[in-house]
Chain A
């Protein structure tokens, strides 16, 4: 059986962390990831960029609508996820709009943190 673990953080709390606290958190994440890898239990994991980078894609009456932010309605529940490769946000939006749920629900498109591009 495979399980998806969804991580919910308060960005304000995370942003308020001292460099030392942040360092500890990174180390803890790294350690648990390594533990899962060694046990053959790790399939995939990514960190998402802050919620300010989110874009919500919907199709209503055949028209694509794109809005800033993660404004999923509370009556909608998380039903799945796609991890995609796209050259830029426009391409990602086009792919998201192809998912059937774009017509009745909404697709939140959020960039994944690329740790190779992070300042050292």
Chain B
């Protein structure tokens, strides 16, 4: 009997750790005013739970218990260190007298989680630091896991996180949700971090594997958290965009690990569950009438998702959405995507004229997808020699193994292997 109760308590600690550790951390950072102190306190609080819950039973509100235990452990440890450090007794007194508001399920806790997100994604931190810190503190990934995902060494990653925390402390980056006036810019910075994490998982920037599903899953989890805490149209749009891309993951690579283009994908293997959720979110974002680039990109992905075949896609609607997106956020890459949609609507010659005009401006000359898009249109128009030259240029620029193999395959199909 006792043994069972103790075993149950251990399971309870594990479950609470999975569900609550990031929330408890977010509150402890606010109460203690320091990331390292809060992490240490979180660790001590769970160590105390492992020891006491099997003996005393699981407390009625585990989160409140962990926050108050962590806080007392931190004050204790500051006291112990205070003997060597002149300013610490004062800090311990301040922490003790400041009343921790009860960490209920109410707004207070959600505010702490938002504070943590906004602080980790603060634009005064470098983008690499923001990504590492967000995955570490908000998602709870280990330094080793993050290092592995970004092909960096654990020590480089650890140093990046240490530096980011030092800047937060020394430059006094506040632990707060931004003011209304700053919210659009600051939310943009948060969503940018989430999208970069997703893209690294969906289309790894280099290396052998095409995708790293764990990172995309983490980004979607983050996207859900942000929508839950701050349901702004662009946050909803980004979550929709990620789900609609993710719905095609299984179809994007063949059993041999080769890249499969959208037009050639087996649509039966798209995740209908993710598509339904993504399309619902797109509608919700568009209804707000305050939507931006993420919601528009998600709307384009939704049109693809709802088409039974590549040929039956509503290309006119996609071109129209790209027009709106270009007005919201002018970019040569968006223009290139629009040109590909125009080629589907009006034929390859119309698309080629647009792609040539974009390439003539020079900005995309180093972008392999611009050259492979041009090659594809030339191929469809029967310009084999020119298509081969364009694929060769794309091959020189492509960094990812599956993409390189895809281009080489296309070159072979044109009737000649790639020249060395």
Shortest CB-to-CB span from A115 to chain B, Å, is 12
Contact with B along A28-66 (1 / 0, CB 8 A): 000000000000000000000110111100000001111
Which residues 63-105 of A have a CB within 8 angstroms of B? 63-69, 87-90, 93-94
A117–B123 CA distance with the chains assembled, in angstroms: 26
Which residue of chain B is the closest to A94 with respect to CB atoms?
A: B182
Q: Say whether A18 faces chain B, with CB atoms less than 8 Å apart.
A: no
Tell me the B47-102 residues at the A interface (CB within 8 Å): 85-87
CB distance from A110 to the nearest CB of B (A): 8
B361 within 8 A of A: no
Contact check, A49 vs B170: say whether CB atoms are below 8 A apart: yes
Q: List 7 A-B contacts (CB under 8 A).
A: A50-B170, A53-B166, A53-B170, A67-B123, A68-B124, A88-B172, A89-B172
A15 interfacial contact with B, CB 8 Å? no
| Complexed CA–CA distance, A50 and B167 (Å) | 10
Beta-carbon contact of B167 and A119 below 8 Å: no
A88–B174 CB distance below 8 A: yes
* Contact, CB under 8 Å: B174 / A55: no
Q: In the complex, A35→B80 CA distance in Å? A: 41
Which one of A53, A90, A120 contacts B167 once the chains associate, using CB atoms below 8 Å? A53
B62: min CB distance to chain A, Å: 32
Total chain B interface residues with beta-carbon distance under 8 A:
21
With an 8 A cutoff between CB atoms, is B399 at the interface?
no
What's the nearest-Cβ distance from chain B to residue A85, in Å?
Answer: 12
Q: How far is the CB of A26 from chain B (nearest CB, A)?
A: 17
Chain A residues lying within 8 Å of B182, measured Cβ to Cβ, are 90, 94
Residue B173 CB within 8 A of the other chain: yes
A94 to B176, CA, bound (A): 15
At the interface, yes or no: B171 with Cβ under 8 Å from chain A? yes
Q: Which A residues are in CB contact (< 8 Å) with B124?
A: 55, 66-68, 89, 93
Contact at B170–A111, with CB atoms within 8 Å? Answer: yes
How many residues on the A side are at the interface (Cβ–Cβ under 8 A)?
25
Interface centre among A55, A64, A109, A110 (most CB of B within 10 A): A55
- B159 smallest CB distance to A (angstroms): 12
Residues of A within 8 A of B125 (CB): 68
Beta-carbon nearest neighbor of A50 in chain B: B170
Least CB distance, B85 to chain A, in whole angstroms? 6
Contact B171 A111 (CB under 8 A): yes
**Per-residue A-contact encoding for B157-179, CB less than 8 Å = 1, 0 else:** 00000010011001111101010
Q: A119-B85, A120-B86 are contacts. A68–B126 as well, Cβ < 8 Å? A: yes
Given contacts A119-B87, A120-B86, contact A49 B171 (CB under 8 A): yes
Give CA–CA (A52, B129) in the complex, Å. Answer: 12
B172 and A66 contact, CB distance less than 8 A = no
- Residue among B126, B163, B171, B178 facing the most chain A CB atoms (10 A cut-off): B171
**B126 neighbours in A (Cβ, 8 Å):** 68-69
| B256 surroundings in chain A (CB, below 8 A) | none
Q: How far does the Cβ of A50 sit from chain B's closest Cβ, in whole Å?
A: 8
The contact string, 1 if C-beta is below 8 Å from chain A, for chain B 382-401, is: 00000000000000000000
Given contacts A66-B124, A68-B124, A88 and B86 within 8 Å (CB-CB): no
Q: For the complex, is B105 an interface residue (Cβ under 8 Å from A)?
A: no
B264 within 8 A of partner (CB): no
Asked whether B185 is an interface residue with its Cβ less than 8 Å from the other chain, the reply is yes
**Complex CA–CA separation, A54 to B174 (angstroms):** 15
Bound CA–CA A93/B173 (angstroms): 10
For the complex formed, measure the closest distance between the CB of B88 and the CB atoms of chain A, giving whole angstroms.
9
In the complex, the answer to whether B163 meets A52 with C-beta atoms within 8 Å is yes
Task: Report which of A54, A68, A109, A117 forms a contact with B129, defined as CB distance below 8 A.
Answer: A68
Asked if A66 and B170 make an inter-chain contact with CB atoms under 8 angstroms apart, the answer reads no
A116 and chain B: residue at smallest CB distance = B87
CB-CB under 8 A from A88, the residues of chain B are 172-174
Q: Tell me the complex Cα distance, A109–B182, Å.
A: 18
Residues on B with C-beta less than 8 A from A63 are 185
Tell whether A89 pairs with B174 under 8 Å between CB atoms, given A55-B124, A68-B125. Answer: yes
Q: B171-194, CB under 8 A of A: which get 1 and which 0?
A: 111101010001001000000000
